[in-house]
Amino acid sequence: MSILVVVNTPRDWPLDIPGVTVVPARAYLTDPAFGEDRFARVFNLCKSYRYQSLGYYVSLLAEARGHRPMPRISTIEDLQSPNLVRLIVQGLDDLMQKALSPIKSESFELSIYFGRNLAKRYDPLSRQLFNLLQAPFLRAKFERRGDQWHLRSIRPIAASDIPPQHQEFAIQATTDYFLGRRRRARKPGVPRHDLAILYDPGNPEPASNAKALRKFEKAAQALGMHVEFITRDDFGRLAEFDGLFIRDTTFVNHYTYHFSRRAMAEGLVVIDDPDSILKCNNKVYLAELLCRHHLPAPKTLLVHRDNVGEIVPSLALPCVLKQPDSSFSLGVVKVETEPELRARVAELLAKSELIIAQEYLPTGFDWRVGILDRRPLFVAKYYMATGHWQIIRHGKEARDFVEGPTEAVSLDEAPKKVVKVALKAANLIGDGFYGVDLKQVGKRCYIIEVNDNPNVDAGNEDGVLGDALYREVMGVFLRRIEERRHGVTR
């Protein structure tokens, strides 16, 4: 992948980094050779990004050519709206107050060069602003109102706008950024496929244990892909990769969803995609979807403040209550008495206008069918935790939980009806990676939920397929990346 730094005039930017080419903006826009380079990465450092300027057209044409520009044209448009910028960065308030609290003046200006500032104490704030807005050079202005700091404005700046006293540092920050990219590059001769695996080393209930992550890495390398494990701090690096595999617990109002959306916007192959995260993380959506398509599920009632009295006549007791974004057995409660029911419903409706109530179907285990690319991949039995009605029994602390055993089952040995129904349910969501949970009562099976980002732990879900499971997943990434590079749409 060639790296192009596009500027109005090359002499304005004394950049000399191996593998990085400084290109005049007019040459990039008019020379057909640049349009033929399908794998270029463009860093737009033009003097202006205003509408229909050279800088504007550099990012616009770079996107049309598939060059993944920084900044993207959407970022340029976003930065024109102060209200939108403040909305984008509103989650950084605590970090902003912590970073700026020692400042005694009523205003402050922060210069950001590829996520860094001359004063290292401002690097955490600089890095997060860079991650969110994705422009090489930014200038943020803050003002104090009372005892609170507020972002007044933030805008991209050109190389020619860098103050003389900042130029040496800006060049060094840029050099470090690009050299860092080169250090992460593959050896010559290896196919140009980079896969990022997003994980949280501090998550007590990860989607894959450490051994499974290593197996994914080994499988990808065997297929000619370079793997890098990234964390939430690497948001600004997504455009370096061809694919993103999320192996942390996903939620909608969560960094995993932001990673998925940004990766999709950057043209990466993403598992799981943001639509799958949205759909699978909301039990209200799933209940309506299964009902609409006449797929078997436990008796279900969509509960709101005006129909609480219908729960017992419809479902009897005990029954199960679910908050819409519940996962890993959290936010799911079994109620056995009417006083408990009223208290729990009130508690859940305080957080969401709608919740789910379902009939209670006691079983010794749940079926889990793993589905990828609209094909069943693995089947497992998830047994209930000892003395508990769910597969996970949680304690008071996040790391205090007990999990029931997992038993892998071959596709041939699993009940055909279970696999067939699971596949139908997953296909309603998309072609990503899903874990469909079902209960089997006699000859009937019931869909409990469809999960994006299903567990794959070494020693559990891979009990039948072994290393072949990891090769299957990585094989899908490889095929999709190559299809995308050759313009094949799915």
- What one-character-per-residue DSSP string does 175-216 give? HHHHHHHHHTSPPTTS-S-EEEEE--TT-SS-SS-HHHHHHH
Residue 486 CA from chain centroid, whole number: 25
Q: DSSP alpha helices (H): ranges in 89-133?
A: 93-100, 123-133
**Based on the domain organization, do 43 and 90 belong to the same domain?**
no
For 16, other C-beta atoms within 10 Å of its C-beta total 8
For residue 186, being part of any structural domain is answered with no
CATH of the domain at 345: 3.30.1490.20
With respect to residue 282, please indicate whether it lies within any of the assigned structural domains: no
Shared-domain flag, residues 242 and 325: no
Q: Evaluate whether 223 touches 281 at the Cβ level (below 8 Å).
A: no
| 117 close to 109: Cβ distance less than 8 angstroms | no
Structural domain includes residue 290: no
- 278-322 pLDDT, tens digit per residue, is 899 888 889 889 999 999 999 999 999 999 999 999 999 999 998
Q: Is 189 a domain residue? A: no
Quote the CA–CA distance of 161 and 184 in Å, as a whole number. Answer: 30
Domain that holds residue 9: 3-77
| pLDDT above 90 for 215 | yes
pLDDT tens for residues 234-252? Answer: 887 888 899 999 999 998 8
Can you list the positions of beta strands (E) in 317-452? 319-327, 330-335, 355-359, 365-372, 375-383, 392-394, 401-403, 406-409, 433-441, 444-452
**CA nearest neighbour of 8 among 25, 20, 23:** 25
Cβ atoms within 10 Å, residue 377: 22
Tell me the CATH number at 254.
3.40.50.20
List pLDDT tens digits, range 378-397.
999 999 998 888 888 766 66
Q: Residue 399 pLDDT more than 70?
A: no
Instruction: State yes or no: pLDDT of 11 exceeds 70.
Output: yes
Tell me what pLDDT residue 24 has.
Answer: 93
- Give me the sheet containing 137-145, strands edge to edge: 107-113, 137-145, 148-156
Domain assignment of residue 291, yes or no: no
Q: Please report whether residue 23 resides in a domain.
A: yes
Task: List, for residues 42-69, the tens digit of each pLDDT value.
Answer: 999 988 888 788 888 999 899 888 888 8
Same domain, 99 and 27: no
State the Cα angle at 46 between 40 and 51, rounded to 5°. Answer: 100
Q: What is the pTM of this model?
A: 0.73
Tally of domains within the chain: 5
Q: What is the mean pLDDT of the chain?
A: 88
Are residue 39 and residue 98 in the same domain, yes or no?
Answer: no
Contacts 24+ apart (CB under 8 A), 159-166: 159/7, 159/12, 159/13, 159/45, 159/47, 160/8, 160/12, 160/47, 161/47, 161/137, 162/111, 162/113, 162/137, 163/111, 166/111, 166/113, 166/118
Q: Are 269 and 246 in contact (CB under 8 A)?
A: no
CA 31, CA 26: separation in Å to the nearest integer?
8
Shared domain for 352 and 393, answered yes or no, is no
Q: Give a yes or no: residue 284 inside a domain.
A: no
